[in-house]
Copies of this chain bind each other. A is one copy, B any other.
Amino acid sequence: MTAAPTRPQGVFSPVLTPFNADSTPDADRFIRHCRWLLEQEVGLAVFGTNSEANSMSVAEKRRLLEALLQAGIPASRLMPGTGCCALSDSIELTKMAVQAGVGGVLMLPPFYYKGVSDEGLYRAFASVIDAVADERLRVYLYHIPPVSNVAITRGLVERLLKAYPKAIAGMKDSSGDWNNTKAMIEAFGPQGFEVYAGSESFLLANLRAGGPGCITATANVNPTKIVQLYKTWRNADAEAQQKALDVTRAAFAQFPMIPAMKAAIAWKTGRQDWLHVRPPLVDLDAQQQQALQAALDQVGFTMPNAGMLA
């Protein structure tokens, strides 16, 4: 057993999953995208919402994780999403990730049933932690009510932290509500609980409030400038940097985000297979691709070293 990992910090990307025309995951492009992100100093929150992780089976995720490890991607830079609807699936993926030595896991609550109690969610997280039974486990709770429709409340965090002060390491707040992020940092930051912003729109605010950084979709396509703000947030130009990040994000957000980010990579690398998404998502059509390219040109969007991905 290796030692517990040091806590991750900085900018993470819910890594986009490249698919082939037949909808199978493309491990080769996945590895190359991860290498490119690491070169930009972005951590790898593989199997997140923007990774279409819930559109893949546990077996497909296992194979992709194994492919990354075999390709020499450092496990310490990985924060895989391992929270599924099925308790047994969450346990299997979390065990695998921890045994691989990942920096942490990002855990959705079970999201099929709505209106579930904090008691039920507590039991769900506790059951996974107890079943994994590994000192190295670091859980980041994934609060994304606009998608999961199942919230992680302050009361739930408090109870989990009390029962599992070592395993419960932090959260990703994708509520889009900065006041919630701030309240979580204030309430639990002093205990070492790391509250990541769920978007770079709140990166500067997060760092100023004492947060660790952000886990954000757009780091898949705009990593350099997001990381630059992370590194220089005390500089005088920090607010100007934040504004520039917001402008680029807004250009993507005119379109469905996941297909749009994939279309941007297809465009910048010339690899049309990057366009593929799994149903129920729909890839951008030719007209949308042109509109996206125009919007991105207008904000001066670039992808440095995109050749690594081609």
Contacts and interface: CB of A to CB of B under 8 A. Distances in A.
A114 B147 contact: yes
A308 interface: no
A3 to B, nearest CB: 30
Contacts of A120: 279-282
A26 interface: no
A159 interface: no
A224 interface: no
A127 B109 CA distance: 27
A60 interface: yes
Given A87-B23, A112-B111, A113-B147, A123 B56 contact: no
A281 B116 contact: yes
Among A57, A109, A127, A280, the most chain B Cβ lie within 10 Å of the Cβ of A280
A9 interface: no
Given A120-B282, A121-B280, A282-B120, A149 B114 contact: yes
Nearest to A120: B280
A61 to B, nearest CB: 9
A49 B116 CA distance: 14
A54 B116 CA distance: 14
A77 B110 CA distance: 30
Copy count, this protein chain: 2
Contacts of A92: 57
Contacts of A86: 54-57, 60
A303 interface: no
A41 interface: no
A88 B60 CA distance: 9
Among A120, A127, A148, the most chain B Cβ lie within 10 Å of the Cβ of A120
Interface in A88-130: 88-89, 92, 109-114, 116-117, 119-121, 123-124, 127
A278 interface: yes
Among A112, A114, A116, A123, the most chain B Cβ lie within 10 Å of the Cβ of A112
Contacts of A121: 279-280
A16 B86 CA distance: 16
B57 A278 contact: no
B89 A124 contact: no
Interface of A: 23, 49, 54-60, 85-89, 92, 109-114, 116-117, 119-121, 123-124, 127, 146-150, 278-282
Those 10 A-B pairs whose CB atoms lie nearest each other, nearest first: A120-B280, A124-B279, A123-B279, A54-B112, A116-B280, A54-B85, A57-B88, A124-B280, A120-B282, A110-B280
Given A54-B113, A55-B86, 18 more contacts: A23-B87, A23-B127, A55-B85, A55-B87, A57-B58, A57-B92, A58-B58, A60-B86, A85-B85, A87-B279, A110-B280, A112-B148, A113-B147, A114-B147, A116-B281, A123-B279, A123-B280, A123-B282
